[in-house]
């Protein structure tokens, strides 16, 4: 069947060259390419090999647009360094967290003092490490906090990583600090206050249901 397909391709190629008005002197190049392809098929082709469905190794990850907007409001957007975060977000969506981490590290090689990139690295590294706040992720968040001690972004996303890991009590001080660092009249303060209130309610409910 493979040889039949090859013959059809050769015939179609000849017809196309004729319809395009290509001179016969150039037909030899096309013929050589087809012969080379046929030789490769004869040597390596395995037409009797049974087909099998291929499954993707990576699982897509939901990247919340609201959190991206909040991150941009906190640490900046539409800059040369934040372009690496946009690329990392796209890679994270398809489940390729390893490439997402590499993308941010590439950005940090050019912008080693980028608060946005260090914050993004902490978030992406925690996802890559199975949803846990690994030492590497915590180091990235710490670097971000060092670069922007008055910026609410690093503590907020550190707390978010702990929440994703199911460690709500450890997240609470980070979110409280993020709220304390947020100016009263800034647009995203109500959202932070709402998230802290929800976390407090969750912690209170967990404390009431805990065995005595």
Do 102 and 138 lie in one domain? The reply is yes
Q: Which of 44-53, 94-103, 114-123, 176-185 has the lowest mean pLDDT?
A: 44-53
Q: Would the pTM count as exceeding 0.75? A: no
Q: Is residue 47 part of a domain?
A: no
Greatest CA separation found in the chain? 92
Pair (151, 119) in one structural domain: yes
Kindly state whether residues 128 and 38 are assigned to the same domain. Answer: no
The verdict on 186 and 91 lying in the same domain is: yes
Cα gap 138→135, rounded to integer Å: 5
Do 155 and 112 fall into the same domain?
yes
pLDDT score of 69: 94
**Residue 51 included in any domain:** no
- Do 32 and 90 sit in the same domain of this protein? no
- Torsion angle of C-alpha atoms 182, 186, 192, 193, degrees rounded to 10: 90
Determine, yes or no, domain membership for 136: yes
Q: Domain span at residue 8?
A: 2-20+27-42
Name the pLDDT band for 54 (thresholds 50, 70, 90).
very low
The CATH number that applies at residue 178 is 1.25.40.10
Q: Quick one: average pLDDT of 104-127?
A: 96
Residues 112 and 155 in one domain: yes
> Contact 93/65 with Cβ under 8 angstroms?
no
Instruction: Indicate if 87 and 158 belong to the same structural domain.
Output: yes
* Same domain flag for 128 and 181: yes
Q: How many domains does the chain have?
A: 2
Same domain, 35 and 75: no
Mean pLDDT of 74-79: 89
The pLDDT value given to residue 17: 54
Q: Is residue 205 part of a domain?
A: yes
């Amino acid at each position: 069947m493979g040889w039949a397909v090859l013959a059809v391709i050769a015939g179609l190629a000849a017809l196309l060259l004729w319809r395009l008005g290509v001179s016969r002197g150039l037909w030899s190049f096309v013929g050589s390419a087809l012969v080379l392809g046929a030789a490769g098929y004869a040597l390596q082709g395995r037409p009797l090999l049974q087909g099998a469905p291929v499954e993707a190794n990576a699982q897509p990850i939901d990247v919340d647009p609201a959190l991206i907007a909040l991150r941009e409001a906190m640490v900046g957007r539409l800059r040369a360094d934040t372009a690496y975060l946009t690329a990392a977000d796209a890679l994270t969506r398809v489940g390729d967290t390893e490439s997402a981490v590499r993308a941010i590290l590439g950005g940090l090689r050019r912008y080693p003092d980028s608060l946005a990139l260090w914050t993004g690295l902490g978030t992406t590294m925690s996802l890559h490490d199975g949803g846990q706040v690994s030492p590497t992720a915590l180091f990235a968040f710490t670097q971000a906090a060092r670069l922007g001690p008055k910026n609410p972004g690093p503590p907020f996303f550190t707390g978010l990583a702990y929440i994703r890991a199911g460690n709500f009590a450890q997240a609470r001080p980070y979110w409280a600090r993020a709220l304390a660092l947020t100016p009263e009249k800034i647009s995203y303060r109500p959202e932070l206050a709402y998230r802290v209130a929800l976390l407090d309610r969750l912690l209170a409910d967990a404390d009431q249901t805990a065995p005595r």
